[in-house]
Amino acid sequence: MADDQALLRGGVRIVLESEPDIAVVGEAADGRQALDLVRELRPAVLLLDVRMPVLDGLGVLAALAGDPGTRVVVLTTFDLDEYVYAALRAGAAGFLLKDAEPAELLQAVRVAARGDALLAPAVTRRLIAMFAGAAAPSLARIADDRALGVLTEREREVVALAAYGLSNDEIADRLRVSPATARTHVSRAMVKLNARDRAQLVVFAYRSGLVRPDA
């Protein structure tokens, strides 16, 4: 994990190492140290702060772009839109605020390690507010309405559940299918909608009216 606050790193370490399936293999106080440790230790997951000295979290994400070996979960006190969207565009597997409950943190690490993605509820609400707030339909909204027709009924259901913040495993549990089946439905929906990542699925779901902001 990378954070310039030693006290916070210590608290996060206690939470993570209370679980038998998680081990903290390294700590960094700035982005440059984080990059060096990732390249040396090849961890499954990197918990990454945004604002750090020497090199910030977005710089770390940019340097790790295209590296499939380590999944990045951004963990920060800053939920400003530019950080959220920049981190997701740069390939972050998850985005959590530092006031998240310990269970949310543990879930994010496990979800990322499995190759899935997770957005904190606060981040999902930001996506909703930004992309679903327009009252008048636009060309993009019309295009989304038409794109909805390429999805099967099950794929629509899966996209809606993803928009509510459920991971693939949670979707599988809700629909009573295997996790592999849920992942397949999510992947097929992303291909059909030309969605680059899970955040774009959330945007599509709300802009197309597949789910409602107040639901």
**Residue pLDDT, tens place only, 67-112:** 778 989 988 776 665 677 677 767 787 888 888 889 989 988 998 8
What CATH number does the domain located at 135-207 have? 1.10.10.10
In the chain, pLDDT over 70 holds for what percent of residues? 79
Q: What is the pTM of this model?
A: 0.68
Q: Could you state, in order of their start, the residue ranges of all structural domains in the chain?
A: 6-119, 135-207
Residue 146 pLDDT more than 80? no
Alpha helices in the chain (DSSP H): 6-17, 31-41, 57-63, 81-89, 102-113, 121-131, 139-147, 153-163, 168-175, 179-193, 198-207
Lateral strand order in the sheet of 118-119: 45-48, 71-76, 94-97, 118-119
Q: Give the pLDDT confidence of 110-130 residue by residue, as tens digits.
A: 988 887 777 666 666 665 555
Q: Give the pLDDT confidence of 26-52 residue by residue, as tens digits.
A: 999 999 999 999 999 999 999 999 889
Record: fold of 6-119: Rossmann fold (3.40.50)
Confidence of residue 139 (pLDDT cuts 50, 70, 90): very low
Q: What is the mean pLDDT of the chain?
A: 81
In 10 A of CB 101, how many CB atoms?
10
